[in-house]
């Protein structure tokens, strides 16, 4: 089954509210503008991070790669919300090379 056929099936199962949320996710993904992700030169070395925190996106991605679930991450970082993780994953999808490079640089430091 193609990805498009899978998407069509999922859309048929979604509520109108879920379709709106999905459309917003697609729009953010295409525009590259991810709300809740900021980069500030003097905070975390300017690396993209969750707004209002010192939690870089690369840290969350690396934890996920090592097997941490979203529930694990929310427990480890009680100030995070599910929306913050969704924003981090969206940022990673649109800036994969940048985040992968930050993982390499920080793991070898």
Residues 6+ apart with CB under 8 A from 82: 70, 74
pTM for the structure as a whole: 0.72
pLDDT at 35: 82
18 - beta bridge partners? none
Reduced to 3 states (helix: H, G, I; strand: E, B; else coil), residue 84 is helix
Q: How far apart are CA 19 and CA 32, in angstroms?
A: 20
For the segment 70-98, what is each residue's pLDDT rounded down to a tens digit?
A: 999 999 999 999 999 999 999 999 899 99
Q: Read off the pLDDT of each residue in 4-30 and give the average, rounded to a whole number.
A: 86
Express each pLDDT in 34-75 by its tens digit: 889 999 999 999 999 999 999 999 999 999 999 999 999 999
């Amino acid at each position: 089954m193609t990805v498009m056929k899978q998407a069509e099936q999922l859309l048929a199962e979604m509520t109108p509210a879920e379709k709106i949320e999905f459309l917003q996710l697609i729009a953010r993904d295409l525009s590259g503008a991810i709300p809740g992700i900021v980069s500030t030169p003097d905070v975390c070395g300017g690396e993209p991070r969750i707004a209002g925190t010192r939690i870089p996106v690369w840290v969350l991605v690396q934890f996920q790669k090592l097997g941490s679930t979203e529930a694990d991450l929310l427990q480890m970082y009680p100030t995070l919300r599910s929306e913050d993780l969704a924003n981090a994953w969206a940022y990673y999808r649109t800036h994969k090379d940048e985040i992968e490079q930050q993982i390499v640089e920080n793991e070898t430091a």
